[in-house]
Every structure is written in C-alpha cells, then in structure tokens.
Structure 1
C-alpha cells in the first residue's frame, strides 16, 4: 500500500511546530524592559532579580490603587497582595535591601485612584478586579518567558512566582463562595 500524505497535520507535528516557534521567539531576544545577556557589567541573575522586584513593586502599587479606589475589596485583596510582597522580598538580590513592599494599602475615598502607568482604576469593582487579574496574568506570562534565560535557582523561583500569579488571576476573577 503506498504511503499518502495525511489530510491534516498530526498533533505531534503541530506541537513540534509550536515548540519551534516558541524557541525561535525566545532566541530572537524580543526586548522590552527585561535584562539582556551582556547588557552591563552587572551579573545576569542580579539584573533579572532587580527587574522581577520592579515588576512586583508595580503590581503592589496596582493592588494599593485598587484597594484605595474600592475599599470594600481591600479584605479580599489583602492576602493576594501579601503574597506579591513576599515574592518581591524573595526575588530581591541578596545584597539589596527590601524595597518595603510590605506597607499596607491605605483606605481610600472610593475615587478612581491612578494605577501605575497613569491608568485609572476602573470605577466598578468587578472591572477593577478584572484589570488587576489582567496585570497578574501578564506578569505571570512574562515571568514564564524569562525562565528560559534564568540561572537554575532563579528559574525555579520565577516558575513558582509565575504559577502563583496565574492562581491570583483566577482568584481575582472567580466568584467567592461559588460552587461548581
């Protein structure tokens, strides 16, 4: 029986192609504000840690702005914010002092406080939670991408923190107390 070309690609060939595209994207070195290898005399791990702490600090600012704009959400956000603060402290380079991410969110007037980057917190609580979940999800995805170039221990920590961020995104958009 002669061999014929399948009418559609196999799952294996699709996965191999996707892995190839992802690998090529990682090798091209897409640049945002992430550290690049050989960028300065500062070791790669230290630059990666400093960038991760900056990202966590920006996320903490988003949590604070959301809690200030929607005080009724503060109790729901507090444990997630505390975890982000712990991640920031754990990711800090050993010789650097903690950037004081553990300061608690202050109560607000309910006005739309600006989030980092000048974006206002959405006026509706559900939209504010969705915006915060989007920020968590984006940072989780960025940290997952950063794993490829991270040294061993930092890669393991970034993987753990990225997974936690994905869980935070889920918790921020799920309905508390709902059963499935």
Structure 2
C-alpha cells in the first residue's frame, strides 16, 4: 500500500482572527514604541499637545451647551450646575499652559447661568442656537436629552481617541469619558426616583 502524506487541517476561523488581531496589535505597539516621529506630523506640534487642544476645545463647546441649556430653561440651572462644574474642571485639567512645564492653564470664563443659578439673558431663550448652531429644545426634558446626547457623543469620541493618546493623557481621557457617560445617565434619569 502506498504511503500518502496526511492532509493538514485548514486553520480555524478563530485562529485566523486571533492571528490577525495579534498582527494588528504588534503593528500598533511598534508604532507606539518605534523610532517614528514622536512630535507628530502636523507642522511639528507634538501629538499630546494637539490632542489636549482638541479635548479642551470639545469641552469648551460642551460648556457652551450647558450654558445655553441653563439660559433657555432657568428651572434646570440647579440640576445642571454640578455637571457643568465637572466639565469645567475637566477643561482645566486637560489644558496645559506650557506642555513642558505640565502646569494647567488658567481658563477663566464668564460665570454661567448654570453656575450662578441666575436667569440668563434672552439669547439663550428656548429655540435659540446652542454651541454648534443647534437650537436648545423648547421642552426641558428634550433639552436634557439633547445635552445627554452631547455628553454621550463626546464620551464615545474620547474613548476612541484613547488608542492614539500618550499614557498620562490616555488615562485622563478615559476618566473624563467615564464622567461623560455618567453625566449622560444623570441627565436622562429622573431625579429622586427610586431605582
């Protein structure tokens, strides 16, 4: 009887996916630790600085949305004040005056209606544009929902940005993204309701 070589079983889909994931991970790790240009490709601005500037800008837009919502619905100002204060703290933590010195930048701003609890001027009336040109919904529940959507979207964007962020900034973005997810929950939950 002639001797034949046994057929090799074809690789399973699971092993192919595991191999592809491992190769992708190796490429990502090589990119993070390799001899590439750590200063980033955008005109010599370091990656961390660009990412921080983007994060600060996004947080400032979110603060504007909080202010517009509180101005349009003064009855919500008390509920929004602690969440807005947290977003302001995130903005300050993400900003560096001098990236080399690693000192937070001072970002003073006008006190908002949400922070002061006072009624805001007419530009924030229901239907007036919030940050990004989107109008504040006329119903308070819809306004809270729109604000929760903004928090949720920013939280998701920051979670995605973690993959390319340097270590310290990645940890900060993860923490801020988690806070944003909690804010979205708090904005859409009924205060005082038993769970």
Fold in common (TM above 0.5) = yes
Question: Deviation at 1:111?
Answer: 3.6
Native 8 Å contact 2:97 2:106 kept in 1: no
CA deviation string 1:3-57 (max 9, x = no partner): 9xxxxx99xx99x7xx79x98xx9xxxxxxxxxx412211100110010000000
Task: Provide the TM-score with structure 1 as the length reference.
Answer: 0.77
Paired position in structure 1 for 2:66: 63
Structure 2: which 5+ residue stretches go unaligned? Answer: 1-8, 29-39, 99-103
Per-residue Cα deviation, 1:107-142 (whole angstroms, up to 9, x for no partner):
235443311111110000000000000000000000
Q: CA deviation at 1:94?
A: 3.7
| TM-score, normalised via structure 2 length | 0.72
CA RMSD of aligned residues (A): 2.9
Match of 1:54 in 2: 57
Unaligned runs of 5+ in 1: 4-8, 27-36
**2: distance between equivalents of 1:53 and 1:44?**
14
Match of 1:41, SS state, is coil
Which of the numbers 143, 151, 154 marks the counterpart of 1:136?
Answer: 151
